[in-house]
Amino acid sequence: MWTWFHRLASPPTFYRWGGTLQVIFGVAAAVLIVVGTYGGLVLAPADYQQGDAFRIIYVHVPSAWLSLLVYTTMAVAGGVALIWRMKLAELFVVAAAPIGAAFTALALVTGMLWGEPMWGTYWVWDARLTSELVLLFLYLGVIALNGAFEDPRRGARAAAVLALIGVVNVPIIHYSVEWWNSLHQGATVTKFDSPSISMDMLWPLLVNALGFTFYYCAMQCMRMRALVLSRERDARWIREAVA
């Protein structure tokens, strides 16, 4: 049974079905994001307190969710890569890191853009934003470590170890930053997990979140296929596949 799985997870096989998958994911992502964005920008009613400024959550919240999702999947792939020594899992880790970093940066930037009309300042040291900032540095650490090795396989496995330590730390960091925030009585401003968000504001958020997830899947397929091409450059099957 494992041989079937290993054959499926071999680079040439992945290159083939990854190509199909990325198209499917890409189309799904495009549709969902268009629907969700339209719903969020046009259909959803303006917020009682914040007016139209709150609409940035339709980008901010899905990005934040994705930043955590990508890190978790990256760490799981890292574990698989180390335990079962799967080349494809190693490529998953290397491919996911910049995508996750981009989502984190997007969450931070949109958080800052939201901050300006809300609290009059671009940056507040509240628990959520600070956690996201630390997460961004975790991603940068993984990217930097991977890039520091000449041998790409060793770099990928080192990045996998780091991703594993990081994933254990992400909830700890989250909790510690919240505690720090409460200790120093900072403003807990980013409160969309408050139950008062109404359904007609919520559904575009969920649609966008799903759309972003499909976008991640599409991007991941693309990046992994590119990495496969670059790593297996000298292999025979490449010429047949690319021709």
Partner 1 sequence: MGIWGAVWTREWQLLFRQRQDLLQPLTYFTMVVMIVPLGVDPADAVLTLVAPAIVWIAVVLAVVLSLDRLFRDDARDGTLAVLLTAPTPLWWVLLAKLGAHWLGLGSLLAIAAPIAGAAYGLSLAAAGVLFVTVIAGTLGLMALGLVAGALTVGLRNGGVLVAIILLPLYVPLLVFGAGAVAAVQSGFPGAGPVYFTAALSMLYATLAPPLAAVALRLSYD
Partner 2 sequence: MLQFDSIVLRRGRKTLLGPLSADLPPGSVTHLQGPNGVGKTTLIHALVGLREPDAGQVRWNGDDIFERPESLRRVLCYVAHDATGNAALTAVEALRFTLAVTGEEADAATDALREFGLTGRSLTQPLRTLSAGQQRRVALARLAVSKAALWVLDEPLNALDAGSRDALCQRFAQHAQAGGTVVVTSHQPLPIDAHCIDLAAA
- Rounded Cα distance between 64 and 175, Å, is 16
Binding site for partner 2 (CB under 8 A): 150-151, 233-234
- Cβ-based nearer residue to partner 1, 81 or 124: 81
Specify burial of residue 5 (Cβ count, 10 A radius: 0-12, 13-18, 19+). exposed
Q: How far is the CB of 77 from partner 2 (least distance, A)?
A: 20
173 binds, among partner 1, partner 2, none (CB under 5 to 8 A by kind): partner 1
Question: Does 161 participate in binding partner 1 (rule CB under 8 A)?
Answer: yes
- Rounded Cα distance between 86 and 11, Å, is 10
Q: How far is the CB of 153 from partner 2 (least distance, A)?
A: 9
Kindly write down the DSSP assignment for every residue of 143-210, as one continuous string: HHHHHH-SSHHHHHHHHHHHHHHHHHHHHHHHHHHHHHHHHTT------TTSTT--HHHHHHHHHHHH
Choose one: 23-31, 51-59, 66-74, 145-153; the region binding partner 1 (CB under 8 A).
Answer: 145-153
Query: What token pair was written down for 240?
Result: 């047949």
- Helix (H) / strand (E) element for 41: namely none
- CB contact at 8 A, 61 and 212: no
Question: Does 138 participate in binding partner 1 (rule CB under 8 A)?
Answer: yes
Question: Does 154 participate in binding partner 1 (rule CB under 8 A)?
Answer: yes
- Cβ-based nearer residue to partner 2, 86 or 109: 86
- Rounded Cα distance between 77 and 60, Å, is 26
Question: Does 166 participate in binding partner 1 (rule CB under 8 A)?
Answer: yes
Binder of partner 1 out of 27, 165, 187, 226 (CB under 8 A)? 165
Choose one: 17-25, 54-62, 180-188, 233-241; the region binding partner 1 (CB under 8 A).
Answer: 180-188
Angle 198-100-113 (CA atoms, 0-180°, nearest 5)? 55
CA-closest candidate to residue 74, choices 139, 8, 145: 139
- Cβ-based nearer residue to partner 2, 82 or 113: 82
Choose one: 110-118, 171-179, 198-206, 227-235; the region binding partner 1 (CB under 8 A).
Answer: 171-179
The phi and psi torsions of 51 (rounded to 5 degrees) equal 65, -140
Choose one: 27-35, 68-76, 138-146, 233-241; the region binding partner 1 (CB under 8 A).
Answer: 138-146
Residue ranges in contact with partner 1 by CB under 8 A? 82, 134-135, 137-138, 140-141, 144-145, 148-149, 154, 157-158, 161-162, 164-166, 168-169, 172-173, 175-177, 179-180, 183-184
